[in-house]
């Protein structure tokens, strides 16, 4: 029931008109690599803001790993944005211990929680960009692999 409600929330959020074009965004990963949204053209991009101290974030990490592993070579790609003040060594150890294999981007929170997508009001927050880099959904709260798959399938038609 809760997953269904969350799925409906994500679907409803997709219908809101906060959209923008974000293909110019680029991120520096924990490993020092640069990921450009424009390089992911043709794939759905799931950008997940999270923190190591956040219980709902920790609960959804295996779901995001599963989703990324199943779709990274096909039609979707996950980027995790660690949104907290944490040293990089501790973050790397945490990422390894959780077996997170999608790119992680360390980002310090701002005073007003501003991001390219607007303010972050809580964690986890997930943004979904369509294959052209356009904003499609902005969801605060947990997501799971099935929710994301359903959203993409519904909006790919």
What residue ranges do the domains of the chain occupy? 2-155
What is the mean predicted confidence (pLDDT) over 40-50? Answer: 98
Q: Per-residue pLDDT for 63 more than 60? A: yes
pTM score above 0.75: yes
The residues, ordered by sequence, that sit 6+ positions from 144 with a Cβ below 8 Å of its Cβ are 3, 6, 60, 63
CATH topology of domain 2-155: Glutaredoxin (3.40.30)
């Amino acid at each position: 029931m809760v997953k269904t409600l969350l799925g409906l929330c994500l679907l409803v959020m997709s219908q809101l008109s906060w959209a923008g074009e974000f293909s110019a965004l680029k991120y520096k990963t924990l490993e020092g690599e640069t990921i450009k949204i424009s390089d992911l053209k043709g794939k759905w991009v799931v950008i997940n803001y999270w923190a190591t101290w956040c219980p709902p974030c920790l609960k959804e990490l295996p779901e995001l790993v599963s989703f990324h592993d199943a779709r990274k070579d096909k039609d979707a790609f996950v980027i995790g944005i660690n949104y907290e003040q944490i040293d990089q060594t501790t973050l790397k150890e945490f990422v390894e211990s959780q077996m997170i294999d999608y790119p992680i981007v360390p980002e310090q929170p701002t005073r007003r929680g501003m991001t390219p997508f607007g303010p972050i009001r809580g964690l986890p927050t997930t943004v979904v960009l369509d294959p052209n880099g356009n904003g499609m959904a902005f969801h605060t709260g947990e997501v799971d692999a099935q929710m994301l798959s359903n959203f993409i399938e519904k909006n790919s038609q």
